[in-house]
Structure formats: C-alpha cells, structure tokens
Structure 1
Amino acid sequence: MNSTNITPAPSEHTALTLKQNVEQALTAYFAELDGQHTTELYDLFMQQVEAPLFTCVMQHTQDNQSKAATLLGLNRGTLRKKLKQYDLL
C-alpha cells in the first residue's frame, strides 16, 4: 500500500450554534408530532432546557451558588428555587 495516496480526513469541526440546535430539535419534535395537537409547549421546552442548564452551570462553578447565580444573571434566591424545582439541591 502506498501511504502517499492516503488523504487525512478534514479536521475542521463545525459545531452548531445553540440557536441552530434548538431550531433543529424543535423541527424534529414537530415532525414527530405528525400533525397531532400539543399544548403547553413552552413549559415542556423550558423544563427540557433549564434542568441541563442548571446542572452544567453548577458543575462548572463546583456547586458554588453565588458564582452560578452571577454567571446566570439570577439572584441566589431564584437560583435556589430553580435548583429545588429540578431536584438539583
């Protein structure tokens, strides 16, 4: 085998933006509904997004609620309420 003919795969990785990921997920969700009626999409979406957001931020800040609240732009009371809501506290 002649190794000079082997071309490495491109190393560029084009990650989707958060907005693109959300649009892609919602498009897939609506496709799966296949015309079925749904309600309370906002609440469903927020639950699906907030829980991993708070989990990742708490991991990033090593469970420091003051740092997490600052990072998120929330006051600590609101953060604690949300952490309890998602059983993260």
Structure 2
Amino acid sequence: MPTSTPLEQAVRDQLDRYFKDLGGSAPSDMLAMVNLCVERAVLQVALERTDGNQTRAAEMLGITRGTLRKKLHIHQISA
C-alpha cells in the first residue's frame, strides 16, 4: 500500500475531525461535500497565484477558461 501524500493526510485528518464533530450522527452525501469544499479552495488558490488572471488559472488547473468561469459561478467566487 503506497504511503499517503501530505495533502491526502490533511484530508484524512479533517475527515476524522468531521466525524468527531458529527458526534455519532451519520454523514450524508459526504463525497459531494468534500468535492465542493476542495474544488472551491483549489479555484481560490489558482486565482490568488495568478493574481486573478482567469486564463492562467485555467491553464494551471488543466481546464478551459469557460469551465473555470462556470465553476466560479457555481461557487459564487468573483474574479
């Protein structure tokens, strides 16, 4: 079994905290929740690292500028 990366370990640590915060309640739609949270953070970081340049951010993310704009709209991120 390959060792986890620091990013994977950070996600695992946060999920452990999430389960503790639930206090025994069952999670719902956990994968969608994590995907949305991670995607939002990645979009924000890409925009920060490119000083808001959407073309460069899209290239950094490996998506088209149109796709980036759709995702920004979904996450209500202004650029």
Q: TM-score range by the shorter chain?
A: 0.7 to 0.9
Q: SS at 2:32's partner residue?
A: helix
Query: 1:18 deviation in Å?
Result: 0.9
Number of the residue aligned with 1:29: 18
User: Pairwise CA RMSD of aligned residues?
Assistant: 1.5
Number of residue-to-residue matches in the alignment: 74
**Shift, 1:88, TM fit:** 1.3
Q: Residues of 2 paired with 1:57 and 1:22: CA distance?
A: 19
* Runs of 4+ more than 6 Å apart: none
**Structure with a larger share of its residues in helix:** 2
Q: Which has the larger radius of gyration?
A: 1
Alignment correspondent of 2:70: 81
Q: CA deviation at 1:35?
A: 2.2
Alignment of 1:38-53 (within 5 A): 38-53=27-42
Q: Identity of counterpart residues, as a percentage?
A: 34
* Alignment equivalent of 1:68, drawn from 57, 64, 70: 57
Q: Gaps (5+ residues) in structure 1?
A: 1-15
Q: Which ranges in structure 2 are unaligned for 5 or more consecutive residues?
A: none
TM-score (norm 1): 0.74
